[in-house]
């Protein structure tokens, strides 16, 4: 998570509020496939397990988790799609 101190602009938004494990991971995978390498996905989720789940998913898929914010009961994730191989 390298860019914690600057404002991030998302290229796509995915709202998974009200969805619980494993649905946010499935939806994140589907949405990340629709954006270009290097673009940023903003994901909003309120599942308490989503923080650990998304961190693990990003590491396993080599997508870059840039920032995690907490807003009351919601997590806001900024994920940069990995560059094309």
**Closest among 60, 80, 66 to 1, alpha carbons compared:** 66
Q: Is residue 1 part of a domain?
A: no
Please, which pLDDT band fits residue 6 given cuts at 50, 70 and 90? Answer: low
The model carries a pTM of 0.89
Kindly report, residue by residue over 40-63, the tens digit of the pLDDT: 999 999 999 999 999 999 999 999
The domain tally of the chain equals 1
Q: Residue 38 maps to which CATH number?
A: 3.30.110.40
**Closest among 72, 15, 21 to 44, alpha carbons compared:** 15
Q: Is residue 5 part of a domain?
A: no
Q: Cβ(45)–Cβ(17) under 8 Å?
A: yes
Q: Is residue 85 part of a domain?
A: no
- Active site members: 21
Q: Is residue 25 part of a domain?
A: yes
Q: Is residue 3 part of a domain?
A: no
Domain that includes residue 66, residue range: 12-80
Tell me which residue has tokens 């923080």. Answer: 51
């Amino acid at each position: 998570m390298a860019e914690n101190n600057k404002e991030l602009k998302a290229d796509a938004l995915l709202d998974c509020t009200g969805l619980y494990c494993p649905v946010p991971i499935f939806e994140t995978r589907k949405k990340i496939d629709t954006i270009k390498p290097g673009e940023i996905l903003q994901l909003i989720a309120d599942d308490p397990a989503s923080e650990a789940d998304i961190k693990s998913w990003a590491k396993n898929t080599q997508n870059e988790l840039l920032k995690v914010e907490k807003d009351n009961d919601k997590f806001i994730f900024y994920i940069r799609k990995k560059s094309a191989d």
